[in-house]
């Protein structure tokens, strides 16, 4: 991962400190509500999207929560309008977008932010998009001082900052291993389901983007980072069946490890779904395999996407019952630690919290003078970890030996 000193002073004046793009979507509206309740009183923030009427209705909802939102600026822009995205990026210090699938709608915003020296963050879980944006815009972002930070929600903050937190409990300068085990009872929204189907149906494009990135990315010298997929197994550490999860989280953790020497000279990371009962593990694996196979057939993929359209999602009562836990087992230098990152509804309530706090962190906190495409651990590290703990996401050491 490359990084360089930012060229634009952090105090450079823009019209806004933060613009939330895609604010009327399911998670966008939750993020807007969180910002209305938690953004600093002097934060100059705005809502952006392509439907002004929907933005006005959202502002009315926010005003009911906080009367100060009555004057919240509304910015009309289409994600695929290059001129509009350039104007949007030039108006703000930080641009946060919830508009996915990002492989369809995200590239113009990344390009505009990279060119304008504007910090960019999103909620993508799409490896193809992240790899393409690195190849196309990392160099320009390093020139202008922009920080391009993908996956600032449940994908992939619990894994990335959880591994970062776990490594911090282990000795420095020695080979380290970290295994992560995810459990949750949460439901998808329509937008998330569409994104997953899109990614599953783009296998060749994912491989091509990964190959292109490897050709552009500098080789890691003097250190080694490994992320083997592994095989399903029973985990004695957690007392559950561990099913490998080959998701973006793994790549994000690997990039943090490559960028930060604190992960040691030889770092290995594995990422699992954690299931208590074997029949559930077998059934879940079969179901995922079946959906992946069906997603390769465009008409079937479209039919599946239409069953749960973007904008739909679990209601407040269901979200209130949802939870997630990621347990980590870290070893190195003769020490072993058990840590955990946990919280409430991961896909929406906690994702909105993570996303909003990431945007505020980029806008306000004293951070490393880095630029280019960065992970949350590299771009924000301890500052974001502190914010999330204060906001109610739990990072704890469960045990050590």
pLDDT at residue 189 greater than cutoff 90: no
Bridge partners of 342, per DSSP, are 325, 394
Across the range 118-127, mean pLDDT stands at: 95
Q: What is the CA radius of gyration of the chain?
A: 20
Q: Are residues 163 and 149 in the same domain?
A: no
Name the more confident of 276 and 293.
Answer: 276
Asked if residue 104 belongs to a domain, the reply is yes
| Token output for 156 | 């992939």
Across the range 50-62, mean pLDDT stands at: 97
Q: What is the pLDDT of residue 190?
A: 46
Asked if residue 2 belongs to a domain, the reply is no
The 3-state DSSP composition of the chain as helix, strand, coil percent (nearest 5) reads: 45, 20, 30
> In this structure, how many other beta carbons lie within 10 angstroms of the beta carbon of residue 54?
17
Q: Are residues 212 and 118 in the same domain?
A: no
Average pLDDT of every residue of the chain: 87
Choose among 270, 200, 215, 254: nearest CA to 375: 254
Asked if residue 49 belongs to a domain, the reply is yes
Q: What is the pLDDT of residue 37?
A: 96
pLDDT at residue 120 greater than cutoff 60: yes
Asked if residue 86 belongs to a domain, the reply is yes
How many angstroms separate the CA atoms of 110 and 136, rounded? 9
| Token output for 35 | 């910002």
Q: Are residues 211 and 224 in the same domain?
A: yes
Domain tally, the chain: 2
pLDDT at residue 4 greater than cutoff 90: no
Q: Are residues 298 and 176 in the same domain?
A: yes
Asked if residue 356 belongs to a domain, the reply is yes
Q: Are residues 184 and 323 in the same domain?
A: yes
For residue 387, the surrounding DSSP H or E stretch is helix 381-390
Lowest mean pLDDT among 29-43, 267-281, 289-303, 327-341: 289-303
Q: What is the pLDDT of residue 316?
A: 72
pLDDT band (50, 70, 90) for residue 313: low
Q: Are residues 27 and 144 in the same domain?
A: yes
Q: Are residues 139 and 266 in the same domain?
A: no
Name the more confident of 288 and 395.
Answer: 395
Q: What is the pLDDT of residue 185?
A: 79
Lowest mean pLDDT among 29-43, 265-279, 327-341, 354-368: 265-279
Q: Are residues 320 and 180 in the same domain?
A: yes
Asked if residue 198 belongs to a domain, the reply is yes
Choose among 90, 160, 91: nearest CA to 125: 160
**Phi, psi dihedrals of residue 31, rounded to the nearest 5°:** -65, -40
Q: What is the pLDDT of residue 276?
A: 73
Across the range 228-254, mean pLDDT stands at: 88
Q: Are residues 66 and 174 in the same domain?
A: no
Summarize pLDDT for 215-232 with one digit per residue, the tens. 999 999 999 999 998 788
- Find the domain containing 198 and state its range: 157-345+394-400
Lowest mean pLDDT among 7-11, 88-92, 218-222: 7-11
Asked if residue 3 belongs to a domain, the reply is no
How many angstroms separate the CA atoms of 117 and 115, rounded? 6
Asked if residue 8 belongs to a domain, the reply is no
Q: Are residues 313 and 354 in the same domain?
A: no
Question: Nearest 5 degrees, angle CA 65-CA 66-CA 70?
Answer: 110
Q: Are residues 102 and 236 in the same domain?
A: no
pTM for this prediction: 0.88
CATH of the domain at 73: 3.40.50.720
**Phi, psi dihedrals of residue 217, rounded to the nearest 5°:** -80, 130
Q: Are residues 36 and 144 in the same domain?
A: yes
């Amino acid at each position: 991962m490359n990084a360089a000193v930012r060229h634009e002073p952090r105090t450079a004046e823009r019209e806004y400190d933060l613009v939330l793009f895609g604010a009327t979507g399911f998670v966008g509206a939750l993020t807007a509500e969180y910002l209305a309740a938690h953004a600093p009183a002097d934060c100059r923030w705005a809502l952006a999207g392509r439907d002004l009427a929907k933005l006005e209705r959202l502002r009315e909802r926010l005003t009911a929560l906080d009367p100060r939102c009555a004057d919240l600026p509304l910015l009309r822009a289409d994600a695929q309008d290059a001129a509009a995205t350039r104007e949007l990026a030039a108006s703000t210090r930080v641009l946060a977008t919830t508009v996915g699938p990002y492989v369809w709608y995200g590239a113009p915003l990344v390009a505009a932010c990279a060119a304008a020296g504007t910090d960019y963050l999103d909620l993508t879980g799409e490896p193809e998009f992240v790899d393409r944006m690195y190849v196309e815009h990392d160099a320009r972002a390093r020139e202008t001082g922009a920080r391009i930070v993908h996956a600032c929600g449940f994908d992939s903050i619990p894994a990335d900052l959880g591994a970062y937190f776990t490594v911090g409990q282990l000795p420095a300068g020695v080979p380290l291993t970290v295994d992560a085990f995810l459990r949750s009872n949460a439901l998808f929204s329509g937008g998330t389901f569409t994104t997953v189907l899109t990614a599953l149906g783009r296998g060749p494009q994912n491989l091509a983007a990964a190959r292109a990135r490897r050709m552009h990315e500098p080789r890691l010298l003097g250190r080694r980072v490994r992320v083997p997929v592994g095989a399903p197994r029973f985990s004695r550490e957690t007392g559950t069946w561990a099913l490998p999860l080959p998701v973006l989280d793994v790549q994000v953790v690997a990039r943090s490890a490559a960028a930060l020497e604190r992960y040691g000279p030889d770092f290995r990371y594995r990422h699992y779904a954690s299931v208590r009962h074997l029949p559930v593990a077998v059934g879940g694996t079969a179901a995922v395999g079946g959906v992946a196979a069906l997603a390769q057939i465009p008409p079937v993929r479209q039919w599946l996407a239409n069953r749960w359209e973007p904008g739909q999602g679990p209601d407040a009562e269901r979200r209130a019952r949802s939870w997630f836990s990621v347990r980590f087992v870290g070893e190195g230098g003769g020490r072993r630690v058990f840590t955990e990152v946990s919280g409430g509804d991961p896909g929406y309530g906690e994702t909105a919290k993570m996303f909003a706090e990431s945007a505020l962190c980029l806008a306000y906190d004293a951070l490393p003078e880095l630029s280019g495409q960065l992970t949350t651990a590299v771009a924000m590290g301890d500052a974001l970890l502190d914010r999330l703990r204060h906001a109610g996401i739990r990072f704890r050491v469960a045990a050590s030996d």
